[in-house]
Amino acid sequence: MVNRAFVLKIVSALILFGAWEIAGRIPVSLAFPTFLESMSALFSMAADGTLWLAYAETLQPLVVGIAISAVLGIAIGLWVGLNDFFDWLFSPIFIVMQAAPLAALIPLLVLAYGIGLTSKVLVVCIMAMPVIVLNTAGAVRNTPESMKEMGRAYLATDLAIVLKIVIPAASPVIFAGLRLGISAGFIGAILAELKITPTGVGDIITYSRSIADYPSMYAAIFSIILLAVLFLNLLEKTETVLFKGNQRGYVSD
């Protein structure tokens, strides 16, 4: 038993990819290539540069949208969490947005802003922002009362309480919201590329589907899921390093 968890992860990957390979060989459907075919399509796309060009395009709305959502979302969240009036005014909007299928706004965004980058960035924003705002506001509101009291008892100014107590205390939850927001942002970015105009990875998917080059289509989908998962895992690792004491830290017994 060298490292059971690691070995089992490998086994688990082998089982899934093996099942994919077998299902592709039967084949379960003409539109279901084998795992190896898809991987070789992935490598040839990476080798001739198509994949990198596609990602250069896909990442634009994604990065811009997520950057805007993160900055604006955290700022609004802090504001809403700290001030009763803004809480009353803005929270309902974001609560409704969080529950609602905002994807339905896409046709309207296309009518208003065309099929360019703006629309795609907006799609990423409306998907990513609500959860960031709500998590930030909730975390700020839930700062343990005794920590704030401690700040006041030791003569911290209101600003110092926000900067040195409320924000650090809220940051693990803010970060978790950011992670959920980015995950939703990926959904939005792909949706925009598939729905609005095929560009980037969405273009590879749409185009290879239309010419029935299924290995390339599966390869592109595989790559974008892989990218999202790797990125989010990286973020989670950063989180555990950054907040190592903070998550289990506040216990009173």
Q: Interaction with another protein in 29-68: which residues (CB under 8 A)?
A: 29, 31-32
To the nearest whole angstrom, how small is the minimum distance from the Cβ of residue 228 to another protein? 5
Report if residue 195 touches another protein, rule: CB under 8 A: yes
Q: List the interface residues with another protein, window 129-158 (CB under 8 A).
A: 144, 146-147, 149-157
On whether the CB atoms of residues 210 and 187 are closer than 8 A, the answer is no
Please identify, among the stretches 27-35, 39-47, 49-57, 64-72, the one whose residues bind another protein according to the rule CB under 8 A: 27-35
Report if residue 99 touches another protein, rule: CB under 8 A: yes
Pick the binder of another protein from 41, 124, 205, 219 (CB under 8 A).
205
Q: Which is nearer to another protein, 9 or 52 (CB)?
A: 9
Report if residue 110 touches another protein, rule: CB under 8 A: yes
Q: Which is nearer to another protein, 72 or 232 (CB)?
A: 232
Please identify, among the stretches 74-82, 114-122, 134-142, 165-173, the one whose residues bind another protein according to the rule CB under 8 A: 165-173
Report if residue 183 touches another protein, rule: CB under 8 A: yes
Amino acid at site 246: N
To the nearest whole angstrom, how small is the minimum distance from the Cβ of residue 194 to another protein? 6
Please identify, among the stretches 46-54, 74-82, 114-122, 223-231, the one whose residues bind another protein according to the rule CB under 8 A: 223-231
> Quick one: which of 176, 172, 158, 201 has its CA closest to 53?
201
Q: How many residues bind another protein (CB under 8 A)?
A: 88
Q: List the interface residues with another protein, window 1-20 (CB under 8 A).
A: 4-5, 8-9, 11-13, 15-16
Per DSSP, the residues of the chain read: ---HHHHHHHHHHHHHHHHHHHHHHTTS-TT---HHHHHHHHHHHHHTSHHHHHHHHHHHHHHHHHHHHHHHHHHHHHHHHH-HHHHHHHHHHHHHHHHS-GGGGHHHHHHHHTTSHHHHHHHHHHHHHHHHHHHHHHHHHTS-HHHHHHHHHTT--HHHHIIIIIHHHHHHHHHHHHHHHHHHHHHHHHHHHHHT---HHHHHHHHHHHTT-HHHHHHHHHHHHHHHHHHHHHHHHHHHHHTTTHHHH----
To the nearest whole angstrom, how small is the minimum distance from the Cβ of residue 57 to another protein? 15
Structure tokens at 203: 């273009």
Q: Please, what sign has the CA dihedral across residues 152, 155, 158, 162? A: negative
Please identify, among the stretches 64-72, 73-81, 128-136, 167-175, the one whose residues bind another protein according to the rule CB under 8 A: 167-175
On whether the CB atoms of residues 165 and 154 are closer than 8 A, the answer is no
Pick the binder of another protein from 89, 114, 163, 237 (CB under 8 A).
89
Please identify, among the stretches 47-55, 73-81, 134-142, 213-221, the one whose residues bind another protein according to the rule CB under 8 A: 213-221
